[in-house]
């Protein structure tokens, strides 16, 4: 499969996906959004892909937001459709059972910050910049910014950034919990690979289970969430991987998980 706005590079069990419109700072036009949907389906279904790194082309931007030239002509009806489509695709990405790391290598603004927040974890290069500048354009975020931002960093911090449209640097993003860590730019992809490979040493059903359980508890009350956790815990206890993981620990050897 080929893409006109994405690069897809398999890397020994991982997929490196790059939004590739460097002359427009990788802004999200309709083609990028459509292709992000297609590539999400692909990595979800392809057993050869066990983890994903999502980044932007060039050294300046991860994604500098929705494509403003495309957005400028939107009407109420078309803007709602555009937001719905992007939101559903970002949600698909968030629900992918394989770990997805955003490698934020520069500006992550508007839809770019929202795309990073829909990934499971975020690593930032030291030159990364984050923000939701939609208010400066007279609009609100449309790809989950008002929903995921407060959940990640708390309501007050999210509102400050949403209402001012201000940009923060990588260190501040780390301080408020928006990114997992900050690394020198040249170390960004190697660090993402290292983190993913450490995750992939673990039982794949358990990894997928943690992603699913952290996601599904968002909509539940405490007691309901704990009951569901017990159910999932029991389901995993019935797998061959659980037998293997515990047997390997007892035998003091490395577990050989099969995903069953």
Task: Tell me which residues are annotated as active site.
Answer: 114, 134
Q: Using CB under 6 A, which of 4, 69, 227, 246 touches ligand COA?
A: 69
User: Does 255 contact ligand COA by CB under 6 A?
Assistant: no
Stretch that binds ligand COA, among 34-42, 66-74, 151-159, 246-254 (CB under 6 A): 66-74
User: Does 104 contact ligand COA by CB under 6 A?
Assistant: no
**Minimum CB distance to ligand COA, residue 226 (Å):** 39
Q: Mind giving me the DSSP string for 161-207?
A: HHHH---EEHHHHHHTTSSSEEE-GGGHHHHHHHHHHHHHTS-HHHH
User: Does 114 contact ligand COA by CB under 6 A?
Assistant: no
Q: Using CB under 6 A, which of 35, 67, 191, 193 touches ligand COA?
A: 67
Q: Using CB under 6 A, which of 38, 68, 220, 226 touches ligand COA?
A: 68
Long-range pairs of 84-88 with CB within 8 A, sequence gap ≥ 24: 85/33, 86/28, 86/33, 86/111, 86/142, 86/143, 87/142, 87/143, 87/144, 88/37
Question: Contact 237/246 with Cβ under 8 angstroms?
Answer: no
Stretch that binds ligand COA, among 62-70, 147-155, 232-240, 251-259 (CB under 6 A): 62-70
- Tell me the C-alpha to C-alpha distance, in Å, between residue 145 and each of 76, 86, 124, 127: 19, 12, 18, 22
Can you give the binding site for ligand COA, defined by CB under 6 A?
24-25, 27, 64-69, 107, 109-111, 133-134, 137
């Amino acid at each position: 499969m080929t893409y006109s706005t994405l690069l897809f590079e398999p890397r020994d069990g991982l997929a490196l996906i790059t939004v590739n419109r460097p002359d427009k700072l990788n802004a999200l036009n309709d083609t990028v959004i459509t292709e992000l949907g297609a590539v999400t389906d692909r990595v979800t279904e392809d057993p050869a892909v066990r983890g994903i790194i999502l980044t932007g082309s060039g050294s300046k931007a991860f994604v500098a937001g929705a494509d403003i030239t495309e957005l400028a002509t939107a009407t109420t009806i078309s803007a709602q459709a555009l937001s719905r489509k992007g939101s559903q695709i970002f949600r698909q990405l968030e629900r992918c059972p394989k770990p997805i790391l955003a490698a934020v290598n520069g500006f992550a603004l508007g839809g770019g910050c929202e795309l990073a927040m829909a990934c499971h974890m975020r690593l930032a290069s030291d030159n990364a910049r984050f923000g939701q500048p939609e208010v400066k354009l007279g609009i609100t975020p449309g790809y989950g910014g008002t929903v995921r931002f407060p959940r990640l960093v708390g309501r007050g911090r999210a509102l400050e950034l949403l209402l001012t449209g201000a940009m923060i640097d990588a260190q501040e993003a780390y301080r408020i919990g928006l990114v997992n860590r900050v690394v020198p730019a040249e170390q960004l992809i190697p660090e993402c690979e290292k983190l993913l490979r450490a995750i992939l040493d673990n039982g794949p059903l358990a990894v997928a289970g943690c992603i699913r359980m952290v996601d599904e508890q968002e909509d539940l009350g405490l007691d309901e969430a704990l009951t569901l956790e017990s159910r999932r815990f029991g389901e995993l206890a019935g797998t061959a991987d659980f037998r293997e993981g515990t047997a390997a620990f007892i035998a003091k050897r490395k577990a050989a998980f099969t995903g069953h």
